Amino acid sequence: MSDSSIAEHADLGDFKTLEQFILEKQDQFDHSSGSFSRLLRDISVAAKIVNRDMRRAGLLDIFGQTGVTNVQGEVQKKMDALANKEFVLALRRGGECCLIGSEEHAEAIPIDASSESDGHYIVLMDPLDGSSNIDVNVSVGTIFSIYRIPDELPPKEATLDDALQPGTDQVAAGYVVYGSSTMLVYTTGDGVNGFTLDPSIGEFLLSHRNVKTPDRGRICSINSGNYHAFDQGLRNYLNWLQEYDEDDPNRPAKTRYIGSFVSDFHRNMMMGGIYMYPATQGNPEGKLRLMYEANPMAFLIEQAGGMATNGEKRIMEIEPTSLHQRTPLFIGSPDMVKRAHAFLRGERS
């Protein structure tokens, strides 16, 4: 073996695999059955399969639309359908989950009654967020949120009502970003850790330990095409962000908007920034979905030291009423979210 390849192997040895990391965490709990660890493994396997297909998307017949319109009234892309299929399959096969809620299904998906599964977990997900970007090679992602049903409830009797818990009850949340590299980032409520997929060995390796978001940043992510539909308070905040201030290195802010929430969120969490999708005329409730977009990202950003609100209230304290409910969203570096609130309330102009 040459010196350089020895060095490469030595570097790899320094990284912990996602599976090792999960098992170590599991060992910290005396009575852990391993069910949750297996659930995370199932999610990571589905992510690898979706990643594999995505990397070859232009070569396979998986660009374009299926011809189906999903429950959101959005045209379903072939990759949406494929990602949804892979995640549902992995969760069904794994047997740790008793109910799935997906952006791609109007109703919650119960796990096959004939299966041996006695899993107590509910997984809510957006299998492929930002799918309008897929055909043009822009980063997209998967978002997931995990809840637990009460121990006394037989898993086969779990219904959508059991899934409609506020975000504060999430036991874990995370996302996979299929970007210049593929990363899986998750939290179980004790910090945020990120794992980068090493395609040569097919493993997610711990690359971003205990992620913290800066208190302030320079990035503002919003669809400013909707500017004229925003409240005056929000317009004032955007105008303020654009002002030059020689004492403030974060102004004028940089506008960065991919239109893939996962990618915008990931960059902002790492670099510091704010992502906003307020209510507009076209989307009076906001656009993003509470249960499988806003709540999981709110859990992550809070664990990273940031904030997530609907402009008034903490996202994770909203009482959900339906699986596909939408919410306005202001999420990111804490000082930026607080300042946005001050403008929204008219305390700043």
Q: Rule CB under 6 A: which residues touch ligand AFP?
A: 74, 129-132, 223, 259-261, 287-288
Task: Give min distance, CB of 237 to ligand AFP, in A.
Answer: 18
Could you give the 3-state DSSP secondary structure of residue 46?
Answer: helix
At residue 87, φ and ψ (nearest 5 deg) are -70, -40
Residue of 214, 215, 172, 169 whose CA lies nearest to 190: 172
Nearer to ligand AFP, 41 or 78 (CB): 78
Q: What is the DSSP letter of 320?
A: P
- Least spacing, CB of residue 150 vs ligand AFP, in Å: 31
Q: Which amino acid, one-letter code, is at 208?
A: H
Of 84, 113, 87, the C-alpha closest to 98 is 113
Of 188 and 221, CB closest to ligand AFP? 221
The rounded distance, in Å, linking the Cα atoms of 80 and 65 is: 9
Nearer to ligand AFP, 74 or 198 (CB): 74
Nearer to ligand AFP, 202 or 259 (CB): 259
We find the least distance from the C-beta atom of residue 318 to ligand AFP, in angstroms, to be 17
Q: How far is the CB of 260 from ligand AFP (least distance, A)?
A: 5
d(CA 253, CA 162): 42
Which CB sits closer to ligand AFP, 150 or 282? Answer: 282
Smallest separation, CB 128 to ligand AFP (Å) = 7
291 touches 108 (CB < 8 A)? no
Cα–Cα separations (whole angstroms), residue 75 to 81, 132, 299: 11, 9, 29
Give the residue from 312, 348, 347, 305 showing the smallest Cα distance to 330: 312
For residue 223 the two structure tokens come to 């669809």
Instruction: Give the amino acid at 305.
Output: G
Distances from the Cα of 310 to the Cαs of 135, 144, 313, in angstroms? 31, 20, 6
Shortest distance (Å) from residue 203 CB to ligand AFP: 27
For residues 90 and 134, which CB has a smaller minimum distance to ligand AFP in the complex?
A: 134
Q: What's the CA gap between 334 and 313, in Å, rounded? A: 14
**Shortest distance, position 261 Cβ to ligand AFP, whole Å:** 3
Indicate the DSSP class of residue 68: E
Cβ nearer to ligand AFP, comparing 110 with 320: 320
